[in-house]
Amino acid sequence: MSVPRFWRRIHSLYRLEGTRCAKCEILYFPERNRCIKCNSNELQPFFYSGYGKIISYTWVYTPPKGFNSSIPYCLAIIELDEGPRLTSQVVAVNQDEVSIDMLVEFAFRKISSEGKEGVITYGFKFRPKGYPNHKKK
Ligand SMILES: [Zn+2]
């Protein structure tokens, strides 16, 4: 993500922001401009609680180029408490700790840094629900 685009999106990166259709109330993540259910373009910002559970997961041993996380890392499909599903890395877990239905919470984290200028790309990750902020793993 470019730096200007990052700053335009910073509010949605600090919180898990999607949209909600004003007509049929369906929720979207990520945000959409038009409802795919009723075709309305009256979509309003919606902030998710940031809580959800793991529906499915895998361990990635071969990350994309420039991806600096330690290997392997956990990549999961997460169902938010409000319903929508998304794919996210789950941090602060060992392989024997992750399970289906495990409760997780949104965590704003650095994703990667690029090139010698060190442009840092931010994005969201999830961690076990109630995981203390100060604890490092
Ligand atoms: Zn709708």
**75 forms bridges with which residues in the sheet?**
58, 89
Instruction: Report if residue 75 sits inside a domain.
Output: yes
Instruction: Report if residue 137 sits inside a domain.
Output: no
CA of 86 to the centre of ligand 1 (A): 20
CA of 84 to the centre of ligand 1 (A): 14
Count: domains in the chain: 1
Q: For 10-53, what is each residue's pLDDT tens digit?
A: 565 578 889 999 999 999 998 999 999 999 999 999 999 999 99
Which residues make Cβ contacts (< 8 Å) with residue 41, sequence separation at least 6? 33, 34, 35
CA of 40 to the centre of ligand 1 (A): 5
pLDDT of residue 5: 63
Under the banding of pLDDT at 50, 70 and 90, the label for residue 93 is confident
Instruction: Report if residue 13 sits inside a domain.
Output: yes
For residue 122, is pLDDT > 70? no
pLDDT of residue 71: 87
Instruction: Report if residue 134 sits inside a domain.
Output: no
CA of 129 to the centre of ligand 1 (A): 31
CA of 79 to the centre of ligand 1 (A): 20
CA of 41 to the centre of ligand 1 (A): 8
Burial per residue of 86-108, b for 16 or more beta-carbon CB atoms within 10 angstroms, e otherwise: bebbbbbbeeeebeeebebbbbe
Instruction: Report if residue 103 sits inside a domain.
Output: yes
Under the banding of pLDDT at 50, 70 and 90, the label for residue 133 is low
Under the banding of pLDDT at 50, 70 and 90, the label for residue 131 is confident
For residue 103, the enclosing domain spans: 3-128
